[in-house]
Structure 1
């Protein structure tokens, strides 16, 4: 009662419990693990390898986008130059009302467009202009919203003013951004821009100020990027273009249209009276399949990164790309998920690192770590193939297991260094064959080599037969490409392969032509056989043809045919030596992630099944054993929507709301209390909870109202609950 009156003063009550510690990603990674130190090391390895992969991916993005982004920058630079020189011939090159517009066709891989537009915006702000606005259709449903969004980004777009100029500047300041009730018009933007160019020095926000002058042109352009042109309301877009064309003589506006489908979208959305106000130039980006091939080449088909994925996981990731979104960014996220799952679920992934680090880590292994190595399926198969004395040593001596593990790690790293160059050579030799027996893309051949012995397949036999029919020029060109592929980072074995291939190429070049005598002899034989064929009857003709066939079969092969067969046999031996599947290598589980079901479950979500599972088994999601029920019973402690859902499974196509309500009252009744004990009494709280649960179930799409019976709802699902 001493603190009942607020007028007497304020009283502070300190909390008795301590603040809850915020958990980091590393804490979640190591939570519940048997060996926290081991988990912490695996988390660090995961972060290190993912950082290296991110840097490689960024370099790939920059290289692929460099050409198109440079073209865009050149186009915008020319537009700025034309605007600044309009007094000396602007009208002769471009009408005064035309707005320079770049139509950027990016393809249907919409999730990847943000990366391209972010790179474009950064480059523009660094070298062309700080005034860059990037808008999306979902933020610009009306013309007022579009104007407000554009003005907010342009007038607040990273402009650095000198202090003296900022004090003396009058009119609209950068802080005068469009607010609620603010009259958004291009007239205000025009006044602000002209005032800014007269009394301020515009500098790049990321660079230090210098007294030598501006980092940008005298009148930098105002660039407006429409990320998703197809999604904009045509009328809003038309009105905005018409208004901007009225101010093009005062504002150097430049538009960038992001197009996912086809350039004809512009003609479909804009009538001729509006499209004629734009000076459009088309830019085409690389296809997403080429982008994916480059990413796979840099991240998967290389021995640079210790982490690998199995053929099934690669097929799942590529399948999601080809049949769902064509998004390279989502493919990379899937690869990140596989990397995380591997380091999180495999205790021996501490060895999934550089060779020297892995060898040093093996020396520090404890007895428990050695036992985990011996429990690997590949190591168990390796032990079974050894001599009895060696098996005894492996099963009884930890030091001997460590030595053997180090040797196996060296062999596995050497296997990877030889695997990928030979794989590229095989792809070079077979990718140009008719009907592409081993696949047109190298990822297809990679999957074949990961899953089985590729030389045992019918496709491989067909490819070898076709290689035995190659012309000399084609064979020499293919072998020269193989030498170019093998030369960077050659191992000892690959040096021997390169030496052999160069020797074969030299021999092939020596066989330019057959001798004139051989050619003349063959010509005489053919002419004589032709004459004999002309002067004979049907019986003698058949006999002569049989003799000619037998002669050709027993005819000695030419030197080129002999050398070609020898070359193909040598290439076949390389494939059988170096393209063994990873499962044949001991300790492959340390480097390879093979749980394709986990990747599919995380990336290919099934919302309906997940919702039904959550409603049927709430204890699994809420982590409460009190909600667990057995034998199809319904727990009264479960959430209302779970009770309503289970009750609706017992009904037919039409559900009586009153009967449903009574069943809900029966389930949620207190212990020992009869729900019908008080006639005419309705628990308003439970009634309201029932109505809310039914509304939630309708929102999720399980039921709907029906006109057949006013007091009934129609069920939209069938069958029992799915788990």
Structure 2
């Protein structure tokens, strides 16, 4: 036997039996084990992990439903287009006839936007819907899988003809299809023959059925989805479309182009003779910014989920979205990471759940968890504001602390119920103002309100200056939207606010222009204006202008202007009462994730800094004590690429490879060298030479060095001062 543990000292040959050891096999670690690895209380960690998982499942389900709702209109129009194109094909007398005489191929240009990472999710959902309701023959092709026309046709036939088993063919027909697939190197003729055999079988079977609901499935179209059209080679696309047009009257082929930029790319990639073979119809998906706004509104600006994000954390996620990829899916992944990190790093996140469940868990908190509450910065500030007797009870009595924490949690949840409707009402007033002083999107206003007192900013003051000049129809329309927002709110404290807004609307509707007062003002203002038209000297002109200025200052507001000012003042009072930052609320750390630096470090990493840290100080990642070095000393136990990297930092613009190799050999064999080494032993070993070549190749692959034509035995540095 090969196992050294089972070796025997017997000289003779034979068969020996060894009993298995009693050591337990290592079980594979689950996600919960990794979550609880760095926590002090494993039992508490398991509750936090289960809470985070259930919370994220609810949020994930909400995002999936939201994705379906946003894509529903697009998918419905696409399905209608496919069925309309399918009706153009008819089977008469065993021959295909198409209504179009020019052999045009129906094609849908699906403009999905620049968020390329989200295209796979959209197209996957589209493929599932097409397979379920339109046709069982759907193929999805990517540019990286189709470098040539041969590979494209092979992929197409493998995806389509690989679905033969789902159509329930007879055994003889299945053998014929398999044989034809082996013999023919993926031509379109074999695809047409396969499709004819499939439809013929379905036609004979459908005649036995009396129901007519299967008639539209007798000749289903063949849908080919080109996911990333811009990345395909133009010649490959042109050849494929040209070949497909030759079989357009035999095969009901429909093309779907996934486009990220503009539909004009079709005419740029295809020649006029090829693009004339397509009957193109344009479809536009929902913009990624609109999708993001809906996600934030459904997940963060709602009382359905207790988890919250601070303004800085939300700003990090939106900055990554706006300045990097425009990917809503990556934003959702960042949100998922925030949920996991919050429940992992915050010991009191067991209370980050619905209020009824949080009250139950609050009663069963241990003494250590009560101490965690006392150590919260917001709770310490709250204790400082209490009298001496309450301070002693809060710091010594756990039962009194739990009762007080229950009231504070109720106040925190009530704050959210009031904050969100008032925020939406303020957004309705400010989203239509010129230059958008408080932001065009509600997420911008949300971040501004969470960071500081929004009413102290200059943008807020300029916005309310503009609100004091709103027209009557705009003001009434905005008030009506605010009434609808408050009607859908579950906050009991905003019931008086709702009545006040309804009262404002009623007063606007009953408002009639006070004609008499306006005429009186006009008559009073005519005398100075008429005096300006008469001939006068400089003294009388100056006196008349001063009188006109004073009359404008003392001008009395009409009924509409007074009511408008009253509405704006009431809105300002609502903002000051309900849109205070969450940091002013006690126990906000339980529900709010505020570690923006952690999120930025994981989601928006700096690769150059990380590479330098890994190669210059490998202990940061490997955590091996022998790799610790002080004073810039290079350890010979470090990885070869780290040694070569540290040595190349000591060189200038050009690096002599032989000198670099000598220095590398000196570091690697530092512990083996002695002063009595002869010149023969100082020769470079072949293994060390190979290790050096590999390290240099890795540095070249990472982009730190490059070969240079200036000197054949030198390489040039590319970073940190290199050319």
Instruction: Identify the TM-score tier after normalising by the shorter chain.
Output: over 0.9
1:101 aligns with one of 87, 97, 107:
107
Matches within 5 A, 1:291-310: 291-310=291-310
1:113 aligns with one of 108, 119, 130:
119
Matches within 5 A, 1:522-671: 522-537=521-536, 538-669=538-669, 671=671
Q: Is the 8 A contact 1:103 1:281 kept in 2?
A: yes
C-alpha distance in structure 1 between counterparts of 2:197 and 2:94, whole Å: 24
With over 3 angstroms needed to count, the CA separation of the structure-2 counterparts of 1:486 and 1:675, relative to structure 1, is farther
Q: Is the 8 A contact 2:107 2:279 kept in 1?
A: yes
Q: 704-713 or 488-497: which moved more?
A: 704-713
Q: Is the 8 A contact 1:129 1:216 kept in 2?
A: no
Q: 506-515 or 451-460: which moved more?
A: 506-515
Find the counterpart in structure 1 of residue 144 from structure 2: 138
Answer yes or no: is 1:59 the counterpart of 2:65: yes
Find the counterpart in structure 1 of residue 50 from structure 2: 44
Q: Is the 8 A contact 1:155 1:177 kept in 2?
A: no
Q: Is the 8 A contact 1:109 1:260 kept in 2?
A: yes
Structural RMSD (CA): 2.7
C-alpha distance in structure 2 between counterparts of 1:128 and 1:202, whole Å: 20
Answer yes or no: is 1:489 the counterpart of 2:493: no
Report the CA distance between 1:533 and its aligned residue: 2.9
The alignment of Structure 1 onto Structure 2 pairs a total of residues equal to 708
With over 3 angstroms needed to count, the CA separation of the structure-2 counterparts of 1:630 and 1:90, relative to structure 1, is same
Q: Is the 8 A contact 2:98 2:249 kept in 1?
A: no
C-alpha distance in structure 2 between counterparts of 1:90 and 1:512, whole Å: 72
Q: Is the 8 A contact 1:171 1:192 kept in 2?
A: no
Structure 2 gap ranges (5+): 2-6
C-alpha distance in structure 2 between counterparts of 1:369 and 1:469, whole Å: 54
C-alpha distance in structure 2 between counterparts of 1:444 and 1:202, whole Å: 62
Q: 470-479 or 492-501: which moved more?
A: 470-479
Find the counterpart in structure 1 of residue 4 from structure 2: none
C-alpha distance in structure 2 between counterparts of 1:383 and 1:373, whole Å: 11
Q: Is the 8 A contact 1:352 1:358 kept in 2?
A: yes
Matched position secondary structure for 2:455: helix
With over 3 angstroms needed to count, the CA separation of the structure-2 counterparts of 1:675 and 1:715, relative to structure 1, is farther
Matches within 5 A, 1:484-523: 484-515=484-515, 517-523=516-522
> Deviations 1:465-511 (Å, cap 9, x if unpaired)?
22222222222221111101111133211111101111122122222
Matched position secondary structure for 1:84: strand
Q: Is the 8 A contact 2:532 2:544 kept in 1?
A: yes
C-alpha distance in structure 2 between counterparts of 1:89 and 1:386, whole Å: 90
Q: 213-222 or 534-543: which moved more?
A: 213-222
Report the CA distance between 1:656 and its aligned residue: 2.1
Find the counterpart in structure 2 of residue 690 from structure 1: 692
Matched position secondary structure for 2:170: helix
C-alpha distance in structure 2 between counterparts of 1:90 and 1:197, whole Å: 12
Q: 287-296 or 150-159: which moved more?
A: 150-159
Answer yes or no: is 1:167 the counterpart of 2:167: no
With over 3 angstroms needed to count, the CA separation of the structure-2 counterparts of 1:486 and 1:661, relative to structure 1, is same
> Deviations 1:546-605 (Å, cap 9, x if unpaired)?
123223323433233322222221111111110000000001111111111111111212
Find the counterpart in structure 2 of residue 206 from structure 1: none
Find the counterpart in structure 2 of residue 151 from structure 1: 157
C-alpha distance in structure 2 between counterparts of 1:223 and 1:348, whole Å: 53
Matches within 5 A, 1:53-92: 53-84=59-90
> Deviations 1:197-253 (Å, cap 9, x if unpaired)?
2224799xxxxx999984861111111000000100111111111111111222111
C-alpha distance in structure 2 between counterparts of 1:374 and 1:673, whole Å: 61
Matched position secondary structure for 1:709: coil
Matched position secondary structure for 2:357: helix
> Deviations 1:496-538 (Å, cap 9, x if unpaired)?
11011111221222222114x3344334334444333333513
Q: 399-408 or 91-100: which moved more?
A: 91-100
> Deviations 1:593-644 (Å, cap 9, x if unpaired)?
1111111111212222211111122222222112221221111111111111
With over 3 angstroms needed to count, the CA separation of the structure-2 counterparts of 1:159 and 1:579, relative to structure 1, is farther
C-alpha distance in structure 1 between counterparts of 2:226 and 2:107, whole Å: 11
C-alpha distance in structure 1 between counterparts of 2:556 and 2:459, whole Å: 29
TM-score (norm 1): 0.93
Find the counterpart in structure 2 of residue 365 from structure 1: 365
Matched position secondary structure for 1:336: helix
Answer yes or no: is 1:463 the counterpart of 2:463: yes
C-alpha distance in structure 2 between counterparts of 1:637 and 1:509, whole Å: 84
C-alpha distance in structure 2 between counterparts of 1:291 and 1:10, whole Å: 70
Q: Is the 8 A contact 1:627 1:635 kept in 2?
A: yes
Q: Is the 8 A contact 1:160 1:202 kept in 2?
A: no
Matched position secondary structure for 2:517: helix
C-alpha distance in structure 1 between counterparts of 2:201 and 2:15, whole Å: 53
